[in-house]
Amino acid sequence: MYRDPVESLEPLHSRPAVNRTLRVGMIGIGTVGSGTFTVLARNQADIAARAGRPIELVIVAARNLARAAGVVGDSVALTADAMQVATHPDVDVVVEVAGGTGAARDWVLAAIAHGKHVVTANKALLAVHGTEIFAAAREQGVAVAYEGAVAVSIPIIKALREGLAANRIEWVAGIINGTTNFILSKMRDEGLDFAAALAQAQALGYAEADPTFDIEGIDAAHKLTLLAANAFGMPLRFADAQIEGITALQGVDVACAEQLGFRIKLLGVARRQAAGVELRVQPVLVPADHLMAHVKGSMNAVMVKSDAAGLTMYYGAGAGSEQTASAVIADLVDVARLDGVDAARHVPHLGVHAHATNALAVLPRAAVHTSHYLRVPVTAVSHIQAVTACLVEQRVPVRQVALADEKAGAGAQVLVLTGPVEQGTLDLAVHALQARAEVAGAVVTLRVESLEA
């Protein structure tokens, strides 16, 4: 994530070795924090060999000190005051894994003001306050690392900023929320409705008691905001993202998508267009034979289309204590390698240096141009031609029309796959369809993503 210092021509024996222990303070010792402590302790020799020096957790802030002591024992100092960790004189880097956007912002800014590097897995914090945080870090010459905030075990930030640095990136698309992918997998594989699939996800610990951020697409939009900034060199634009969750998704549409040769996934898409960038999260139809359609359970996957490398895909766990810890500690290793490196030579926080940021506009919803799936309830199956005629009259390109299988159990339903069309045009066509006497209920629309190379 951060570039190692360029080797000097000065003989190795005349240069001091960098072997001082990197001292870490951590705020939060929940799922991610405890995993970080465990992996650091278990793999300390390998981690030190890669970092070039030992990495030691020296102090932890936690609300429940007894529970924290049960995790870290007596080898680590404990405090209930997170700000004490953020400003501690014996801490080189602060790991923030407590979550939230209020107090966490204060802790991170305080750490930066005291000249400390920051590692965080808090995507909401960065999506909302990242512009302020990264600016403060640049001014202080410290790093803010956040690989664990986006796709857990998948090193997608490093891939975008380093592995694909030579490329002009055209689009990024990802299944970046394990909870919703688990729910959609259950709806397809077991025929569950949304409520039953959500209840199962909660029972198994994949969903929180309040799953709003996950099922409404907000968590995925936080992550997509960071992906888009790194892919296109644009500012963080979370407030402009178009966000649609899966709470309104019906089992009948999962079945009908399958009938047409597709599967439904909650996808985050950032696509460069001539007029700006599409920045959207929504349930979409993906071809059933596409790799992305086979990402099941709580797994994550991100695809990137770039001009030189072509199409690349990254796959891995979308949740988990040690899985997230893997990314957090990888960030700590990168920070450990920064010793002696001038701040101007760090890999930029969002992939490009501040003076080269591209202020790309985010396209409004009506201007997004994609193919679509429509499910039109009709009073009789004979009205299939009327539905088609109405869409053509409204200048919607129609590629495929079919009747829903009876086993879908939803009465007479006309299924339509359109060619690419602007959302504004499709909205007008749906409004016209809805007004027709042949239409017996609400028209359902979903976008279709081919994810072609």
Helix (H) or strand (E) holding 61, with range, is: strand 55-61
Q: Which of 226, 218, 101 is nearest to 151 (CA)?
A: 226
Instruction: Copy the structure tokens of residue 99.
Output: 């979550």
- One-letter identity of residue 270: A
Kindly state the greatest CA–CA separation across the chain.
Answer: 87
Query: Exactly one of 123, 158, 223, 265 is catalytic; which is it?
Result: 223
Respond yes or no: is residue 223 known to be catalytic: yes
Three-state secondary-structure class, residue 286:
strand
Contacts 24+ apart (CB under 8 A), 188-195: 188/254, 188/258, 188/263, 188/264, 189/296, 191/251, 191/255, 192/251, 193/250, 193/251, 194/246, 194/247, 194/249, 194/250, 194/251
Residues ≥6 apart with Cβ < 8 Å to 314: 151, 154, 155, 156, 159, 301, 302, 303, 304
Residues ≥6 apart with Cβ < 8 Å to 2: 143, 145, 334, 335, 337, 338, 341, 346, 347
Q: Which residue has the tokens 């240069």?
A: 15
Between the CA of residue 177 and those of 32, 189, 208, 220, 320, what are the distances in Å? 16, 18, 13, 6, 12
Q: Interior CA angle at 38 toward 32 and 39, to 5°? A: 90
Return the active site residues: 223
